[in-house]
């Protein structure tokens, strides 16, 4: 069985972080109709950095720089997630791909804007970044 691999990214623009809302696919995906940090399933053999850039551009038309690895985790369906942080080169968002909306949120408010299902998947390092220490 081939395990899925995906990347999830904290995209920063100043003190704000990009959050996106996935299309409503009748629950076919975990983040259906939910606000969350941008993420992308990797294509076979695709380097993480490329998946980060591709995913953010496909979901929000935002170009990024300074990609830094932060953490790893797994979803309930055993998808391997690698978490990254990067800087946006512009603030303009154009929703695309499987996203219906995107917005910049003050960093301290991100845990309250993102859906609870999404936040519960955050590893310790991401919770610490947003100051949600258990």
Question: Average pLDDT in the 104-111 region?
Answer: 96
The burial of 52, by beta-carbon neighbours within 10 Å (0-12 exposed, 13-18 middle, 19 or more buried), is given as buried
Residue 118 falls inside a structural domain: yes
Cβ contact 59:37 at 8 Å: no
pLDDT band at 134 (very low <50, low <70, confident <90, very high): very low
Residue 27 falls inside a structural domain: yes
Domain boundaries, position 118: 5-129
Residue 73 falls inside a structural domain: yes
pLDDT band at 41 (very low <50, low <70, confident <90, very high): very high
The model carries a pTM of 0.92
Q: What is the CATH number of the domain that holds 111?
A: 3.90.79.10
Most confident of 26-30, 39-43, 49-53, 78-82: 49-53
Residue 89 falls inside a structural domain: yes
Fill in the DSSP letter of residue 78. Answer: -
pLDDT above 70 as % of the chain: 95
What are residue 120's DSSP bridge partners?
none
Residue 93 falls inside a structural domain: yes
Residue 102 falls inside a structural domain: yes
Q: How many domains would you assign to the chain? A: 1
Residue 134 falls inside a structural domain: no
User: What is the chain's mean pLDDT, rounded?
Assistant: 92
């Amino acid at each position: 069985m081939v395990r899925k691999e995906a990347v999830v990214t904290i995209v920063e623009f100043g003190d704000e972080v990009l959050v996106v809302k996935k299309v409503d696919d009748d629950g076919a995906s975990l983040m259906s109709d939910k606000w969350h940090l941008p993420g992308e399933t990797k294509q076979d053999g695709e380097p993480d950095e490329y998946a980060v850039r591709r995913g953010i551009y496909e979901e929000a038309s935002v170009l990024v720089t300074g990609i830094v690895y932060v953490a790893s985790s797994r979803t309930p369906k055993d998808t391997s997630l690698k978490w990254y942080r990067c800087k946006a080169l512009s603030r303009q968002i154009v929703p695309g791909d499987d996203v219906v909306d995107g917005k910049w949120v003050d960093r301290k408010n991100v845990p309250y804007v993102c859906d609870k299902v999404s936040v519960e998947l955050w590893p310790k390092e991401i919770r610490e970044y947003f100051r949600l220490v258990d």
